[in-house]
Structure 1
Amino acid sequence: MRKIGHPLHPEYAIGALTEEEAPILHPDESRSIDQSWLENQISELRLENRKRRKKYLSGQPQIPLTDRTVILVDDGIATGFTLLSAIDAIRKHAPKAIVVAVPISPKETAVKIQSKVDQLIAIEIPEYFAGAIGAYYQDFSQVSDKEVIQMLKKFKKAF
């Protein structure tokens, strides 16, 4: 799952995509940028998705999602494009339920996400949204690939 960031403001999502699915794009934002840049970005992000899946799963099969409750956790929702793309991809595996858990979401995005999942848990849904998830954190450092791999190995037996 990768966010397609705006060329001038990479943290602002204009869309998102999975490895296989067609990208979900913001209709206004995606039309206002150079289409060749967008096509190139989509190709690069698909390749990055494949590399990370291979690195993270180390050749292991994906955890089956059918008839399971899937809990999607994110550092926050801004536009919702990345999360909507993930929800669409997960739905194809016939889960029992999809629950989204986030610390922060703008109200209009929370309403949009809530209509697509069984449950949305958001700690804060402010009337005024600061415009960037990082504004709600003291430390908004990225999680490294090494940390992701360690967590996946640690909790692998739980699945």
Structure 2
Amino acid sequence: MNKAKRKNILIDLSDLKHPNCGFGQIAINYSKRFANLPIEGLHFFYLLPNCYPKIHSKNVTSVLVRNRKIRKWFPFTLPKVDIWHSVNQYNKLYRQSPKFIFTIHDLNFLFEQEGQKRQEFLQRIQQKIDKATIITTISHYVADEIKKIH
């Protein structure tokens, strides 16, 4: 397929640094699943923690994150992509891309936080909702909770 027509998708798998946590497990499953997808015309860029080995696949390019703390320059080191998908709803978007897929896993903070902290979480989620091209949820329950607060 012509590379000009190929869609580049960045999947933020930085939670692979915590393989025993929920988001870490999700990242592991995503990394395996997308690496084996035989879809012509799609190429995946995996944003990986520096401590994680590169993933080798025909349709995957690994991008190791050496130091996210250099926020001023970090976005410029990332590839330009057509779609950005963050596995973790709390990860920061580092580069504007034409399309952003936002997956909401839970809204536990609504029940665990109060006052200012709760408002800050709501604002962060709302900012990502506003930027998102597509919003997905992991369950009907989460989708229903979102409808309640909107």
> Normalization by structure 2: what TM-score?
0.33
